Structure 1
Amino acid sequence: MIEAAMIWNEPNNKSHWDPAVDPDWTKFAAMAKLAGQAIRAENATLPRVLGGMSPIDPSFVNRLAGYGLMDHVDALAVHGFPLDWNLWSIHDWPAKLDEIRAVTDKPIWVSEVGISTFGAEEVQLWGLRRTAELLRGRAPRIHWYSLYDLPQAWEATTRHKEAEGSSYYRHFAMGLLREDGTPKAAAGIFPEFTPDLGLCQWFHYEDHRLDDAVAWMKRLGVTYLRTGLSWADSFRPDALRWFDRQMEALRDFDVTVTFCFTPEHLGIEPHHTSAPREPELFAEFCAAMIRRYAPAAVRAAAE
């Protein structure tokens, strides 16, 4: 079942929200408030989580609080990749969480944390153990990113591409499983940390990995998952059929569903990271997805 609705993904990261269109996040805050209200109107008991911030930045939280957004979310989320992209040590995880706790009384989720095998599988193996040691018991949800490597034929959702050395290519090696589905060394120890650790796995439209992913997650002892329903994908042909298939396949997990990505034809700029021209349309999408996959009556019966 859906256990939470997440509003956007990495809104303070220019790869996911265009600072040229919205340099002070006023448009994001207005859109997210409408989305939070729409989700609450459809299901008053479903937790609303603010999309994981990257970088982890208390000033960003303060800014959004000043816009009144915190009245419309129930938890905050953070993302961290200290061995690959962040300029802080993996050992700083408790301190990074404390930085956000200092500016909010809301629960803090770690909705993406992971380590690339770009340099060596042994790095991921060690990093998984150390991450679990540092985060278990400190956050109500810890979503390890990710189950699968990103296929080489696909494109990572980032703006810098090859401009920063190995940074772009590390996106393709974050999985516990290789692109062909064979396990890496860290997959062998992941069950030591479940069910405390869950997974974050994005499924692309008509993703060929979906059924195998479900089988692997059950094998690994995973009980909760974060994934997405893309607003942009909702305009693809037969999108609802794909959404239905994805959500039915994931029915045995507690799912945090992330709503994000602007359809190009609805953005201020024609790009999935752009603020929408009409933020009400994003809120309508969120409401429609909650009505379809997490209606209040169904959730109440499950509880």
Structure 2
Amino acid sequence: MRHIPVLAKEILENLSEDMSVFMDGTIGHGGHIEYFFSNGNFDNTLFVAVDRDAQMLKKAKSYLTSFGDKIIFQNNNYSDLENISKNIGDKKFDGILLDLGVNMDHFKLSDRGFSIKKDGNLDMRFDSSSQYSAYDFLNNGNRSDISQAFNKYGDFTTKFADYMADCIIGERKKSKLSTTFDFVNLLKNIGLGTKKISVVFQCVRIVVNNELGHLEKFLDNFGSYLNSGGKCFIITYHSIEDRIVKYKFKDKSRIGNFQLINKKVIKPSYQEIQKNNASRSAKLRIIKAL
């Protein structure tokens, strides 16, 4: 089953059809780009499809093969704007999209370690060439870093985050946490239900992939890679991500080089949520370079 693009209609409504270059920094299955081609006129637009996950990029290529050389694919992190731009002749962009959600494929493949329902290696890396995995964080991380991750990214109280960190360290002294079910069973044994366990997995994933660090880097630099009139679209699903984007966009608009397109966050319609429940927590923010 293919990943469904979120808020695609709302993004398309804010796209200019005379764009020269558009970058999708989290291409996933390519649903957004396919929607734009199917519902707009972008014959003169070059689309740059970027993903740090080589497996996702390979899938996107297979889904978007009919568009030929209208799309250039790059296996890279969206925050590496310098090299992404260099690879297309140092061109700037008329639009940049980031959809910071996790592709459903990550949860379907047990060997990726994202799902709490499938037993597999404690991995959780988007970029499989990275040397740092969930196994490393949980088995070698210090108490403070583990506790802080649960407290900061999962909104667990400091006391309970410390308790979870102590339980993890106690367990790994007896035997390493090697699989997702090793970790799930530990969390069940300390009283967590399915929803809370999912939150804990999300916390570990955020750390392993340095998700907020890459987002901060992108937000600090994207203005240098947008043409005048170009727009940046960011879809978030986590309150911390949305808060970071919200205040960075506000700061840029105050300086005067940017204009907020939507002062209030754009959320999926009731109809979209009915068709795609995974979209329910999505929030879209748009800013325009002047």
Q: What TM-score do you get using the length of structure 2 for normalisation?
A: 0.32
Compare the two structures and name the one with the higher helix fraction: 2
In our comparison, the structure showing a higher alpha carbon Rg is 2
Q: What TM-score do you get using the length of structure 1 for normalisation?
A: 0.31
